[in-house]
């Protein structure tokens, strides 16, 4: 989730224009020619083409790029909180999937040089966030590529449509955002369809902490000039928007779970009186992940944890892989384990199984929100049915809420409240339709079959139909793809009394108030 919708609209319009232009170029500029032989059977020789500037996402057509597949990012940075200056070298290991005359990366900072397999390459910028790389030698399909990009910039002052996804704070910065985050700190193939592993290392003035994904392959290392280099490693496939950095003044708590997983939690020292509530929530991560593993299937990653961001940082929370980052607002009324259940449910639904297209955001937010309802039931703070009844009743039939389609909300409504609340209601209706046995077989089957991959709503429906043996077309069409409030005989309506507010409701709504818009 995230929270910048005016900007999203601007970006969408700008990128749509870019895609049209570039697609036009590709259509007219393709040098491929049929070369008829004298034998009546033409031999087609295709010259290398430019890689596509996008992966064809239906909401964000120029996010990601065509022509290559990344396996690893080595992101080596130097950062100065006093100036917000970021310099670095990112080494990208990739395989070409086509013959390429050139290819794109998604990136915004100033590029000093690009090398492809050791040869200096030329680069230029295009559109809203495209770095166009023309290698000295043509790239052939199947070729292993080592792309080295050296760069520098001030991410907080690098704007697209007036917007930066980088958050500068009093004592550092947060590289945490969805879906646009990578552009401000490493060049990438920025779409969940192309996942990769990461090594992220950052040199900062000694005394500043850096937290990122996965585990620390070595302790922080002293460098010349009173600096320290922090290193982090992710060994599971990671979507680019789920890589993160939190830089600043943090208290770090490390531990090992009963299941043997490393835990790294970090708390901004700026939290003050909010600190205890943050700890009382995030320190329960291992317990919540263990409980979720019993429902969703084995935890997919190599580490766990959470980062409580500073008071002047982000206002939302994000399911950054192995270690969600939380804004301070969640702790204002005391501990909130619902947001911890939500962000960690995303480790299965969103991180391990990612959207194949941003249109399928319900597969992330509907499921993470339903995890909160299950957690409410587990905590004895209201059953999922009671939360359903109260949620359903809290949105009048004529509310705008019912006009947003969770199954296809639109590019500027990816994080609309309907994707969360109606999304969770949809899963509850599915549970009622197929029964608990089938429902709790469908969830782990989904995470097992698509582990480290991608999914679509249609694929989830097909799995639910296969396991339940039911035709679920009407249910999915009604709840995900039809405007208006579906008619439901809720338990409370049968009793002709208004539903009672579950104990969990205020905390769930507090979380969704910050997560959704």
Query: Which residues would be at the binding site for Zn ion (CB under 5 A)?
Result: 1, 365, 368
**Is the Cβ–Cβ distance between 16 and 59 less than 8 Å?**
no
Query: CB of 340: closest distance to Zn ion in angstroms?
Result: 12
DSSP secondary structure string, 474-512? HHHHHHHH--SPPP---HHHHTTSPPPPPTTHHHHHHHH
Query: CB of 110: closest distance to Zn ion in angstroms?
Result: 33
Query: CB of 516: closest distance to Zn ion in angstroms?
Result: 8
Task: CB nearer to Zn ion: give 316 or 505.
Answer: 316
Per-residue burial over 181-203, b = 16 or more CB atoms within 10 Å of its CB, e = otherwise: bbbbbbbbbbbbbbbbbbbbbbb
Query: CB of 51: closest distance to Zn ion in angstroms?
Result: 31
Find the length of the chain: 517
Distance CA(427)–CA(88), nearest Å, equals 44
Query: CB of 307: closest distance to Zn ion in angstroms?
Result: 16
3-state secondary structure (DSSP) of residue 195 = coil
3-state secondary structure (DSSP) of residue 415 = coil
Contacts of residue 216, Cβ cutoff 8 Å, sequence gap at least 6: 230, 231, 232, 233, 264
Query: CB of 1: closest distance to Zn ion in angstroms?
Result: 4
Task: CB nearer to Zn ion: give 75 or 368.
Answer: 368
Task: CB nearer to Zn ion: give 351 or 386.
Answer: 351
Q: At what angle do helices 457-468 and 362-378 cross, to 10 degrees?
A: 50
Task: CB nearer to Zn ion: give 189 or 391.
Answer: 391
Task: CB nearer to Zn ion: give 203 or 285.
Answer: 285
**Is the Cβ–Cβ distance between 307 and 253 less than 8 Å?**
no
Closest CB to Zn ion: residue number: 1
User: CA 400 from chain center: how many Å?
Assistant: 27
Q: Which two tokens stand for residue 61?
A: 């057509």
Find the helix or strand (DSSP H, E) in which 6 lies.
Answer: helix 5-29
Task: CB nearer to Zn ion: give 74 or 365.
Answer: 365
Task: CB nearer to Zn ion: give 68 or 370.
Answer: 370
Task: CB nearer to Zn ion: give 345 or 356.
Answer: 345
Contacts of residue 27, Cβ cutoff 8 Å, sequence gap at least 6: none
Is the peptide bond preceding residue 179 cis, with omega within 30 degrees of 0?
yes
Query: CB of 364: closest distance to Zn ion in angstroms?
Result: 6
Query: CB of 346: closest distance to Zn ion in angstroms?
Result: 6
**Strand 262-268 and strand 317-318: pairing?**
unpaired
Query: CB of 5: closest distance to Zn ion in angstroms?
Result: 15
Task: CB nearer to Zn ion: give 1 or 175.
Answer: 1
């Amino acid at each position: 989730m995230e929270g910048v919708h005016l900007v999203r609209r601007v970006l969408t319009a700008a990128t749509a224009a870019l895609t049209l232009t570039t697609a036009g170029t590709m259509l007219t500029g393709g040098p491929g020619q049929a070369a008829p032989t004298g034998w009546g059977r033409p031999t087609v020789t295709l010259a290398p083409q430019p890689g596509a500037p996008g992966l064809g996402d239906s909401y964000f057509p120029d996010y990601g790029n065509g022509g290559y597949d990344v396996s690893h990012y080595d992101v080596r940075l130097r950062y100065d909180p006093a100036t917000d200056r970021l310099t670095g070298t990112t080494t990208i290991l990739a395989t070409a999937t086509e013959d390429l005359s050139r290819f794109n990366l998604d990136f915004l900072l100033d590029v000093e040089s690009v090398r492809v397999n050791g040869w200096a390459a030329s680069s230029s910028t295009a559109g809203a966030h495209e770095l166009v790389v023309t290698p000295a030698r043509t790239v052939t399909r199947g070729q292993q590529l080592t792309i080295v990009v050296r760069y520098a910039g001030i991410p907080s002052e690098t704007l697209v449509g007036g917007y930066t996804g980088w958050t500068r704070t009093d004592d550092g910065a947060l590289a945490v955002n969805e879906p646009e985050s990578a552009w401000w700190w490493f060049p990438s193939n920025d779409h969940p369809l192309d996942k990769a592993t990461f090594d992220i290392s950052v040199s900062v003035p000694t005394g500043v902490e850096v937290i990122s994904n996965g585990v620390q392959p070595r302790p922080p290392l002293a460098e010349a000039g009173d600096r320290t280099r922090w290193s982090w490693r992710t060994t599971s496939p990671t979507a680019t928007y789920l890589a993160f950095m939190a830089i600043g003044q943090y208290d770090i708590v490390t531990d090992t779970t009963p299941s043997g997983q490393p835990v790294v939690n970090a708390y901004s020292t700026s939290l003050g009186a909010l600190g205890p509530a943050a700890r009382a929530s995030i320190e329960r991560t291992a317990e919540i992940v263990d409980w979720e593993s019993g429902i969703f299937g084995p935890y997919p990653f190599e580490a766990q944890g959470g980062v409580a961001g500073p008071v002047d940082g982000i206002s939302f929370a994000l399911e950054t892989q192995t270690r969600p980052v939380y804004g301070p607002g969640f702790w204002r009324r005391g501990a909130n384990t619902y947001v911890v259940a939500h962000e960690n449910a995303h480790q299965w639904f969103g991180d391990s199984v990612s959207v194949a297209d941003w249109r399928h955001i319900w597969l992330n937010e509907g499921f993470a929100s339903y995890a909160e309802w299950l957690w409410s039931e587990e905590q004895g703070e209201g059953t999922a049915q009671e939360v359903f009844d109260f949620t359903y009743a809290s949105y009048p039939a004529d509310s705008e809420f019912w006009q947003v389609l969770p199954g296809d909300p639109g590019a500027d409504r990816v994080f609309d409240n309907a994707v969360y609340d109606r999304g969770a209601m949809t899963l509850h209706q599915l549970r009622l339709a197929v029964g608990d046995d089938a429902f709790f077989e469908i969830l782990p089957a989904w995470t097992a079959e698509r582990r480290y991959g991608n999914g679509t709503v249609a694929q989830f429906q097909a799995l639910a139909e296969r396991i339940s043996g039911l035709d679920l077309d009407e249910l999915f069409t009604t709840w995900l793809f039809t405007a208006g409030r579906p008619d439901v005989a809720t338990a409370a309506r049968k009793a002709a009394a208004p539903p009672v507010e579950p104990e969990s409701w205020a905390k769930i709504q507090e979380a969704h108030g910050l997560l959704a818009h």
